[in-house]
Structure 1
């Protein structure tokens, strides 16, 4: 290890420092890069100001991605963290879609690493996320998927189908399927269903609409079909979700 002024190595110098006095305080001052730490179960332990202000939509310590992001995107983030915890391998410079506080969806470059305890066991993960530099435009397939994701969320009440998405985007169905699987880990049909359920969750929690009205507003033509889809994804019925969410306020 190279020594510097005074004959100390960098390791020797940092070992003598009081823990925590530099890193987290400075990370809070970085305006454009989101930083977070999570435990093994995906609960936030630390969020810097940039993450909280830009991405979180009200994140707090102890919450998970499922609490603050749409279910289909949260599922992708959680899969990454589980892989890191299981293998100890970092994920570096991954392009991923992120839900912004404004409700918009944006491509970010994300790096995630394992965090070890004093016994060298993985106790969680940490990550940073930054907006892609506009000097280096996104490849066309990334732009196209980002635009499609926003289009789906804005039109969940319409008659969306894989063929209509392919026509809207100018892709073949096989290309559409391949890009959704690559970037989002699901099929276009599965993503549409998840987006509709995400919209339904918001309406169940924050509106006075009855379940039949919510079913229609989120693109389900039959109440029974809505209930089956909701229960399959959320593992509870719409009425139970509504009662649970409101009782926790």
Structure 2
């Protein structure tokens, strides 16, 4: 895949310094990044990352998560308005909203992926703007460690539960609880790598009812158990 074939889309994102935009080929190598991406990773030239993968920029545990995302998108799926912690050049994490889509060639075959991520503000700014769910994103970000029910989230959006669930599924391609579960698993990944907490405490700290629920959710998303995940990155 050639980045030039995507012009003027790539040119458009050059004017958005607060948005990171990238294009990858079918082997998850960067073929284009915008100025916002370079600024976030303190890179001076695109040549420093073009042809490289996320393992060049990010800790292994994060690069592995990005790789799983890319494989999911290369299979024809999308990542839509997901809130997640994204690293800065100084290794400090910040809350972002991320989107990823498959790219197809002239023959209609998936040939790569494209994505954007931007900072999520204190009240959810940077999320799905003008759709009224910014307060919901902020509540999920700040309260994922405890039970969050659809009724509470619907009230934040000023909607009935049914209308909220329908709107959320349309915007995010996930139910509110599926979205919340994915966020909790990603936060658990950080805790497993960087803390010494027992697995049961990681489960509770990340909002799971107990270790059994945690194990099931984690394995369904990360393709390995929490214990295997921790041991893998400690060996690395």
Q: Same fold (TM over 0.5)?
A: yes
2:207 partner SS: coil
Q: Report the Cα offset of residue 42 of structure 1.
A: 4.0
User: Runs of 5+ in structure 1 lacking a partner?
Assistant: 1-19, 85-90
Deviation at 1:78, TM superposition (A): 6.6
Structure possessing the higher radius of gyration over alpha carbons: 1
Aligned-residue offset at 1:235: 1.7
Aligned length: 201
1:63 CA displacement: 2.5
| Structure-1 separation of matches of 2:118 and 2:164 | 26
Partners of 2:213 and 2:108 lie apart in 1 by: 48
Residue matched to 1:40: 26
Residues 34 and 168 (structure 1), Cα distance of their counterparts in 2 relative to 1, 3 Å cut: closer
Contact 2:102 2:110 (C-alpha < 8 Å) held by counterparts: no
Q: Is the 8 A contact 2:26 2:112 kept in 1?
A: yes
CA contact 2:218–2:226 (8 Å) conserved in 1: yes
Cα distance change, pair 243–53 in 1 and its aligned pair in 2 (3 A): farther
CA contact (8 A) 1:36 1:127 kept: yes
1:159 corresponds to: 147
Query: How far apart are 1:236 and its partner, in Å?
Result: 1.0
- Identify the residue that residue 240 of structure 1 maps to in structure 2: 228
Partners of 1:187 and 1:40 lie apart in 2 by: 29
- After superposition, the Cα gap between the structure-2 partners of 1:244 and 1:138, relative to the gap in structure 1 and judged at 3 Å, is same
Distance 1:244 1:230, change over 3 A: same
Identify if the C-alpha distance between structure 1 residues 214 and 161 changes in structure 2 by more than 3 Å, giving closer, same or farther.
Answer: same
Task: Tell me which of 208, 214, 222 is aligned to 1:226.
Answer: 214
Correspondences of 1:61-210 after superposition (within 5 Å): 61-63=52-54, 67=62, 82-83=75-76, 96=81, 101=87, 103-106=94-97, 113-114=103-104, 123-126=111-114, 138-139=129-130, 141=131, 143-144=132-133, 146-210=134-198
How far 1:188 sits from its partner (Å)? 0.7
Structure 2: which 5+ runs fail to align?
A: 43-48, 88-92, 120-124
For residues 149 and 117 of structure 2, the distance between their equivalents in structure 1, rounded to whole angstroms, comes to: 32
Which stretch of structure 1 is more off in the superposition, 212-221 or 146-155?
146-155
Q: When the two structures are superposed, what TM-score results if normalisation uses the length of structure 2?
A: 0.63
Q: Which residue is 1:50 aligned to?
A: 36
Q: 1:45–1:62: 8 Å Cα contact kept in structure 2?
A: no
Residues 94-143 of structure 1: per-residue CA shift (max 9 Å, x gap): x95575555233588x9975457xx9976434567789xx9xx942x2x4
Q: In the TM superposition, what is the alpha-carbon distance from 1:44 to its structure 2 partner?
A: 3.1
Structure 1 residue 231, shift from structure 2 partner: 1.4
The separation in 2 between residues aligned to 1:196 and 1:182, in whole angstroms, is 21
* 1:5 corresponds to: none
Please, which moves more after superposition, 237-246 or 165-174? Answer: 165-174
- Secondary structure of the corresponding residue to residue 24 of structure 2: strand
C-alpha distance in structure 2 between counterparts of 1:209 and 1:68, whole Å: 23
